[in-house]
Every structure is written in C-alpha cells, then in structure tokens.
A and B are shown apart, each in its own frame.
Chain A
Amino acid sequence: MIESFILQASSYASQIDALIWLIVIITGVWFFAAEGIFFWLLWRFRARPGGAPARYIDDHEEHVLKYKWIEIPHRLILVCDVVLIIGAITVWSDIKLSMPATDETVRITAQQWAWTFQHVGPDGQMDTEDDIVSIDEMHIQVGKTYKFELMAKDVLHSFSVPVFRLKQDAIPGRVITGWFQPTITGEFDVQCAEICGIGHGIMPARLYVETPEAHAAWLANPTHYLAYKF
C-alpha cells in the first residue's frame, strides 16, 4: 500500500508497510461488509406504494436477533482487535523499544527553522575535534546501523523521514534516542512534522544515503561542510 507511494529505504520500512497491509485487509473486510449490509437493507426495506409495512420487533425477537446482529460481530471484532494489537505492538517494539548494536551515532538538533546534523569524523567518536557538522544535510552510509540523538533548541519539532517510515518528536531539554538502518542509496526528504512556528513549512532537509566510497569522498572534501563548523 504505502510502498506504492513512497520508497522503502530503511530496514524497518517493510515491517511498517506490512502492518499497514494487515490493517487494510482486516478493516477493509469489516468496512465493506458493514456498508454492504447497510445499503442492502436500505434497498430491501425501502418504502414503496403497496409494499410491506414495517414489522414490529418485540423484546423476545430482539433478544434473539441481538445474538446475530451484535454478539457474534462483537466477538469477531475482539479477535480481529487482538490480531491488530499483536501486530502493532510487535512492530512498535522492534522499532521504538529495542536498540540494536549500532555502528555509528549521528546527532540531530532541530531549531526554528533548520536542522543541524553532527556526524562523527574519521575517528568514529562523537564530540571530538574531527566531528563534522552540516546544516540541513545529513550524510550517512548505506547498510550501517545508526543511533540518533535527537534534540531541539527552542520549540517542539519532529524528525520525519518518510522513506525510512521514521518519525520522532524532538523536545527542548531532552535527548531522545532511536535508530535506523538505511538499505538503499539515494537522496531523500527530511521533514519537520510538528508545527514549529511561521517557518514550519520551510524546514526541509535532505538526507544523502551514500555508498562507503561516496561518503568517503564527501568526508574528504571539507568545502562541503567546513563553512558550518563551529
């Protein structure tokens, strides 16, 4: 469903899309069944000249019908709900509750109305001299697992990468961690998905998922990012 609109570029994108498919199928069956019965009843019991009048359903008959109209569907929905909940919580736990072994850290800071990305330098350590800071551009390598540290300087923002199916609000005063693993190379949108003031609509960033060679080339040419270094 979602994959036909937008690429899957992270290890867990297909998991989320599969969950969405599951929901589409289960709710779709219920939806079309309910609407089908609804419109059929409207057609079948429409008033017409010479047609049958409405039939009074007394307490006894109502009690019998309740089983068919309410109690059976009630139990079936409960079963469907359990399936949906198991699916939802499984996906949620894999993405948001677990933290796999990560190869590298990237620090993401949101502010009105720009993104700052702090990448580790050649030494592979965060907060050392050779860290690379870029504005509105995030450069990562395909296949590596990244831990992100998400912060906000002023108001709430939300780090959203649709191709990754990743979204996480950033809160001033907190460091929120999470992870992602890009699976294909390319250039993708980063959005701010939480309203953050009059510039909310002009707070895009670009995500560059690169092969190790291309990433090394970016690292080797400091003119790309040196201007931002603080």
Chain B
Amino acid sequence: MAQSHAHDDHAHGDHHEEGWFLKYFWSTDHKMIAKQYLLTGMALGVIGAYFAYVFRMQLAFPNKPVPGYGLVTGSDYNALVTNHGAIMIFWVAMPVLIAAFGNFLIPLMVGCDDMVFPRLNRLSYQIFLISAIVLVSSFFVEGGAFGGAWTAYPPLSAKAEYNLTPLGPTLWLAAVALEFVAFLLGGINFVTTAMNSRAPGMRALDLPMAVWMIVIASILFMCSVGPLIAGAVMLMFDQTIGTGFFDPDRGGDPVLWQHLFWFFGHPEVYVVLLPPLGFVAEIITTFSRKRLFAYKTVLYTTIGTGILSFFVWAHHQFIAGVDPRMSNVFSVTTVLISIPIAELCFVYIATLYAGSISFRVPMLWALAFIAEFLVGGVTGIFLGASGADIYFHDTYFVVAHFHYTFFPIAIIGTFAGVTYWYPKMFGRHMDETLGKIHFWVTIAGFNGIFIPLFILGAAGDHRRIFDYSNFPELASPELQAMRVFATVSLLVMLAVQPLFAWNFFRNMWKGKVAEANPWNANTLEWQCPSPPPHGNFNPMPEVYRGPYEYSQPGRADDFWPQNSPT
C-alpha cells in the first residue's frame, strides 16, 4: 500500500518531494539545470568583468598598482586579456544564452514536461562545471594562466619555452575541450526536444523564434566544433608529448591551427548571436503587441546566415600569411553576409511598425540590442573588406567592433532574457525602477567604453599591449585621455551592476508575486503557472496557432495564446 502510494506521488509530478542535494545539485529537471547554468555563467561573468577591470586600469594608469589586484606585469596582462575573452565567450555567453535559456525555454515553449534526455542534460551541466573549475585552476598553477590570446595561435601556445607558462595552456585547452563536450550534449537535447516533443497541434512553423534560434545555433555548433576539437587535441599533443603538428621545424604548420580555429570561431559568433536574436523577437512582439514581421523570412534568412557563416572564416587571416589571392574569395563572402544580417535587423524594425510599444525593462534591453548591434554590424564591413583590413587588423578597431557585436549578444541579450523571463523562472517580479536605472547606466557605460576604442584603433593602437608608452606615436596625451575615458566608463558600468544583483536575488523572495502570464504573451511558457511546477503543464497543452497572434481584430484581448481553443 505504502509502495503504491509512493508510486502515485511520482506519477503526479506536482507532489514530488526531493532532498536538497537531489533538488539543487543532482536534478534532471530542465528548469533547475537552466538555473544552474545561469548562475554559474553569471558567476564566471563576474570573474571576466574583474579581469576587464584590472587590465583597463593598467591601460589607463600604466604601471600603477590596481586596487584589488596590485601591479600588472606583462605576463599578467596577457593572461588577463586571454582569459577575459575565453571566459566571456565560452563560460558566459554559451552557458547563459544557449544552455540556460535553451534548457529553460525549449520544453516550456514547445509544451512538454522535460528534455528528451534529462540525464544527459544533467551530465552536460556537470561537465560544464568541471570545465569552469579547470579553467579557474589554471591561474593557480606554476607559471600562471595561459596568456597567448583566446585564439591560442601556435607556436606561442604550443611551447612552454615561448609562452613561459608550462601548465596554463594545457589546462586552458582541456577546459575548452570539456566545455565543448558539455555543449554537444546540451545541443543534442535542444534539437531533439524541439523536433520531437512539440505539443499536439504545434507545427514546426508554430515554434517561437527563440526555440528556432537555439536549435539552429546548436546545429551550427555541432557542425563547426569538430575541426576545433581535432585541432585542440593536436595542439595538446604538441604541448605535452612533443609532436609537431604546428611546428614548422618538424614539418608542421602554425597557420593550420588558424584555419581549424576560425572554421569553428566564425560560426561560433552566430552560435551565440542567434539565441539573443530569438529573445529579441519574443520581447519586441510582446511589448509592441505585434505579430513578428515575416516569420518565414526570419527563419530562412537565419538558416542562410548560418550556412554562409561556414565560408567566411579566413577573413580573420587576411594578413596572416595565407595566399593573398584567397583573401579575395573570403572578402566577397564576408561582405555578402551583410545582406542576411541587415535583413534580420530590418525585419525587427518593421515589426515595430503599427505597433503599440510600451517601454518596459525587457523591451528596453531588446531595443538596445537592435540599436547597438547595428553599430557592430556596419563596423564589421571595415574589417571584412580586405583592403581596409590591412590597416585595421589587430587594432583596437577590431576590439571595439567585436564588443559592439558581443556586448549586445552576451550582456544585453542576457539582461533582456533574464528580465523578460524572470517572473516565469522565479514566480516574482523584478523592480522596474531599479531595472531602468541599471539599464541606462549600463548602456551609457558600454558606449563610453567602446566609442573611444574605435578612435584609438583608427589612430593605430594595436591590441594586447600592456603599456603604450613604448610607442611614441601612441603615447600622446590625447590618446591616453581616451584610454582613461574608456576605463572610467567601465568603472561606471561596473559600479551599477550590484544594483542588478540586488534586484535579481532579493526579488526571488521579496518581489511582487507574478501571475502566470504577466506580459499577456502568447507563447506556451506563459500558459503554465509561475514558476512552472515539476512536469510544467497540467493538463498538457494543445496548440492551435502560431506564437505571435497579437492584436487580432475582433477579439476582446490583444493577445491569443497558442493553446487557447477559441
């Protein structure tokens, strides 16, 4: 009798009781794994931001002790910029945008109870956590952390006699490889769940754009990561057992690594770009009460962008010593990728037309994403045009361009997603006023950091230099003033982030209780309770229409949930 009762409890997920360890650490529930990824990613974001603080302070006030760090040496500086880049891309953008939101949103948005492979999902997070620990540990080994840039070009990354960090590069590579395993496992789940577990009635073209984007991103990741993993294994052999895959003295070729790395590295940009593009589609439709303009165009354009992204990688190598004739081909493909990306921007802008736009905090972030990403997009043309790249390559212009794409992706996209889905994740609301203060200061700070860097790059500042006083043309007081301005902007931006942390953590317990559908949105995740119980839906939903049927004429409400029969 007792046994059959226990069995009953399991059958009804909402009565499910678990111990602390099972619930928070060993959970197979997609929502808990999403929160694990989100919090781990945010914690590593704090580390990445701290690194940025230290090296920006060194650039603005060279060779003065940095409060909270101390004196920054050349090797410290290299390790900090290297790991800032690696952490922000692999341990912040990837876990938060793809893994956290993918895990949280896909089962809820397609209307099922969990991922198809829940235990694979749990394993994915655990491997990710190990990769993060391996990475952080590399700072505490003999010689210190790897400092050969996040691109890890050999021979510098391959030989300890050149990089002077005997263990750092190997740990760094191991961490990156583990992290890729984690995301391969996650990606399998995302694609399978979105394809196989959709609620009855939900066609592929009824999927919310956020799901499509995460699925396409996962496929791009799977297709591109193979060559890099092969390269990473070869590089690790070069480091540890003395093979010569990338060693010209022994028949290897250092440029081979660059091809393998960028064959992955460029699609990777779109891997992290697509999920926030999906969030933005959800948010701007909700807060302008409009149907997404040209759903199929968005979808096909995104797939086209993804395919084209496999044919542009060598634009990172125009002047790297590859055959200069090859640059012509890659310049053409790179400049052409402006067409689908511009199209996506136009679609989002067109969605606002004839809407009724309310500027809530998630909407502000989503709109900022569009406005700022446009800057990143157009400045990319300067670098994709091979003739102009001769000058801009490896200058701060590249750094500024990259951050105008990546900051909207990783930071603005994250804040957009977190502020939008927070009521669903935690069942409570964040504070709107604090959210707006945080938004405006962050955006002002961000532009204050990177606009000067465009100018510095145009004036010839080359990258990864810890002290410009050795270069008479770059040591002028005007240029130094811009470096100081960028650093002060960073300090302002960082200073306001505790406000977000307060808003985020405090309102988990103290915030205004959120109803199931606080934004009057259509997609399925808003049709279950906030926060969703174990098993998500009761009863399971059935789908009757697409995700963006807002403001249908003849209806009392200006929204029409996907699962509403009438």
Contacts and interface: CB of A to CB of B under 8 A. Distances in A.
B342 A47 contact: no
A121 interface: no
Interface stretch (A85-93, A101-109, A140-148, A211-219): A85-93
Given A16-B390, A77-B338, A155-B155, A45 B354 contact: yes
Contacts of A169: 319-321
A54 B349 contact: no
A112 interface: yes
A173 B339 contact: no
Given A23-B382, A69-B350, A74 B473 contact: no
Interface in B133-186: 147-149, 153-156, 162-164
Contacts of A16: 387-388, 390-391
A171 interface: yes
B401 to A, nearest CB: 12
B371 interface: yes
Given A57-B354, A70-B346, A198-B75, A6 B388 contact: no
Interface string B323-338: 0110110011001101
A52 interface: yes
B289 A54 contact: yes
Given A162-B391, A162-B460, 14 more contacts: A27-B379, A35-B374, A54-B290, A62-B293, A66-B294, A66-B297, A74-B339, A77-B342, A89-B387, A92-B390, A167-B319, A167-B394, A168-B319, A189-B471
Contacts of B339: 74, 77-78, 81
A76 to B, nearest CB: 10
A114 interface: no
A38 B382 CA distance: 23
Range of interface residues on A (Cβ < 8 Å): 35 or more
Contacts of A19: 385, 387-388
Nearest to B255: A171
Interface string B274-297: 000000000000001111011001
B320 to A, nearest CB: 5
Interface of A: 1-2, 5-6, 15-16, 19-20, 23, 26-28, 30-31, 34-35, 37-39, 41-42, 45-47, 51-57, 62, 65-66, 69-70, 73-74, 77-78, 81, 84-85, 87-93, 95-97, 112, 154-156, 158, 160, 162-163, 165-174, 176, 188-189, 191-202, 204
Contacts of B367: 38, 42
B378 A27 contact: yes
A85 B156 contact: no
A20 B356 contact: no
A57 B293 contact: yes
12 contacts: A19-B388, A27-B379, A41-B357, A54-B355, A62-B294, A69-B293, A88-B385, A89-B386, A189-B460, A193-B394, A193-B462, A197-B163
A91 B473 contact: no
B200 interface: no
B529 interface: no
A97 B379 CA distance: 25
A85 B332 CA distance: 6
B294 A20 contact: no
Contact of B156 (A15, A77, A162, A196): A196
Interface of B: 73-75, 77-78, 147-149, 153-156, 162-164, 248-249, 253-255, 288-291, 293-294, 297, 318-321, 324-325, 327-328, 331-332, 335-336, 338-339, 342-343, 345-347, 349-350, 352-359, 367, 370-371, 374-375, 378-379, 381-382, 384-388, 390-391, 393-395, 455, 458-460, 462-467, 470-474, 550-553, 558
B163 to A, nearest CB: 6
Contacts of B254: 156, 171-173
A148 to B, nearest CB: 13
B346 to A, nearest CB: 6
A195 B156 contact: yes
B156 A5 contact: no
Contacts of B354: 45, 54-55, 57
Between A97, A162, A171, A198, the greatest number of chain B beta carbons within 10 A of the residue's beta carbon is seen for: A198
Contacts of B353: 41, 45, 65, 69
A127 B106 CA distance: 67
A45 B288 contact: yes
B59 to A, nearest CB: 10
Given A65-B350, A92-B390, A154-B162, A51 B356 contact: yes
A186 B386 CA distance: 28
Nearest to A31: B378
B155 A154 contact: yes
Contacts of A204: 470-471
Contact of A193 (B347, B387, B463, B470): B463
B257 to A, nearest CB: 10
Contacts of B387: 15-16, 19, 87-92, 95
A38 B325 contact: no
Given A38-B371, A85-B335, A156 B155 contact: yes
Closest 9 CB pairs of A and B: A173-B248, A91-B387, A88-B385, A162-B460, A54-B289, A5-B459, A27-B378, A198-B75, A69-B350
Contact of A201 (B156, B390, B466): B466
Contacts of A55: 354, 551
A9 B209 CA distance: 51
Contacts of B345: 34
Contacts of A172: 155, 248-249, 254
B391 A158 contact: no
Contacts of A156: 153, 155-156, 254, 320
Contact of B385 (A34, A78, A87, A174): A87
Contacts of A91: 386-388, 390
